[in-house]
């Protein structure tokens, strides 16, 4: 299938970019450094002592799974916010680069349908984001699990949730690239959605701060359709920290993100089909 071929080419292109090589090397070095510097002593399933870079961390003796919840929660937030921001900046150039003069004419003259080109690009970027998030979260989880003997895949699940949020944001970035072929505009759209998504995640808290009437209605209407970035980050953190998560609410949020991403992708494909290059 040519969509997969386009996605694989995007991954090859990413592998040849210094940004992504630096990211891969950076994550690996951080994990290795963290793994070598962290010493954890577990006695009868309880965290007895922890040393980071030889310095004893002053913590109470508590069971390993409880102690790890705080760590994994922090990791989930770092991935949800830091990973999203990095992904927005690092992936902003893929669609404008695909549409660059001399490249797009060549691609469109090949036996690839236009929607396959866009869907392949979207898929490739998602796989890239997923690989980065799972590699970082998986590596960290593996190190902590080996050192503590407490095994869990929840931080990886949290990373997957962050990737789904990124899918919604990247769908809009892709659509913006079809309107204006610019990596800067694509990144700006991503950052704007990221920030407004944090606001949208707190809309129930923020709406009462506005006076009832048109302004509040406008705020509620505008934030209704936006991806709930902060809500998803909180859910990912809860999931990583073994806090019970309402499955129905999570499913509803995931469905909302999927609808947003697919709508943005459908708009991008519609625009792509109309355009001359």
Residues that bind other proteins (CB under 8 A): 2, 5-6, 9, 12-13, 16-17, 100-113, 274, 276-277
- Among 76, 82, 75, residue whose Cα is nearest residue 194: 82
Neighbours of 262 (CB within 10 A): 14
Please, which residue, 172 or 177, has the CB nearer to other proteins?
177
Give the shortest CB-134-to-other proteins separation in angstroms. 25
Contacts of 28 (CB under 8 A, 6+ apart): 139
267 DSSP β-pair partners: none
Contacts of 117 (CB under 8 A, 6+ apart): 6, 98, 107, 108, 272
Give the shortest CB-106-to-other proteins separation in angstroms. 5
Please, which residue, 51 or 113, has the CB nearer to other proteins?
113
Please, which residue, 51 or 103, has the CB nearer to other proteins?
103
Give the shortest CB-96-to-other proteins separation in angstroms. 12
Three-state DSSP class for 18? helix
Measured CA to CA in angstroms, residue 58 lies from 45, 47, 48, 140 at distances of 18, 11, 10, 22
Please, which residue, 117 or 261, has the CB nearer to other proteins?
117
81: DSSP letter: I
Neighbours of 47 (CB within 10 A): 22
Give the shortest CB-8-to-other proteins separation in angstroms. 8
Give the shortest CB-175-to-other proteins separation in angstroms. 20
Give the shortest CB-116-to-other proteins separation in angstroms. 9
Please, which residue, 104 or 265, has the CB nearer to other proteins?
104
Please, which residue, 122 or 150, has the CB nearer to other proteins?
122
């Amino acid at each position: 299938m040519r969509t997969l071929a386009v996605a694989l080419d995007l991954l090859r292109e990413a592998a040849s970019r210094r940004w992504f090589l630096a990211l891969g090397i950076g994550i690996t070095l951080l994990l290795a450094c963290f793994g070598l510097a962290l010493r954890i002593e577990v006695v009868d399933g309880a965290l007895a002592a922890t040393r980071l870079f030889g310095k004893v961390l002053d913590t109470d003796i508590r069971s390993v799974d409880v102690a790890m919840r705080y760590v994994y929660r922090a990791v989930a937030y770092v991935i949800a916010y830091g990973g999203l921001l990095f992904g927005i900046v690092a992936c902003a150039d893929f669609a404008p680069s695909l549409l660059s003069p001399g490249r797009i004419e060549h691609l469109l003259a090949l036996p690839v349908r236009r929607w396959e080109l866009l869907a392949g690009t979207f898929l490739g970027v998602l796989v890239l984001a997923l690989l980065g998030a799972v590699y970082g979260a998986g590596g960290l989880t593996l190190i902590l699990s080996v050192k503590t003997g407490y095994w869990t895949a929840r931080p990886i699940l949290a990373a997957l949730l962050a990737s789904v949020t990124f899918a919604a944001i990247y769908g809009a970035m892709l659509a913006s690239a079809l309107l204006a072929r610019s990596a800067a505009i694509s990144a700006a759209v991503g950052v704007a959605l990221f920030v407004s998504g944090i606001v949208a995640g707190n809309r129930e808290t923020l709406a009462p701060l506005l006076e009832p009437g048109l302004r509040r209605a406008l705020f509620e209407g505008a934030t209704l359709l936006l991806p709930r970035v902060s809500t998803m980050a909180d859910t990912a953190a809860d999931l990583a920290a073994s806090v019970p998560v309402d499955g129905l609410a999570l499913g509803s949020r995931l469905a909302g993100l999927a609808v947003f991403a697919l709508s943005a992708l459908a708009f991008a494909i519609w625009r792509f089909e109309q355009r001359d290059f």
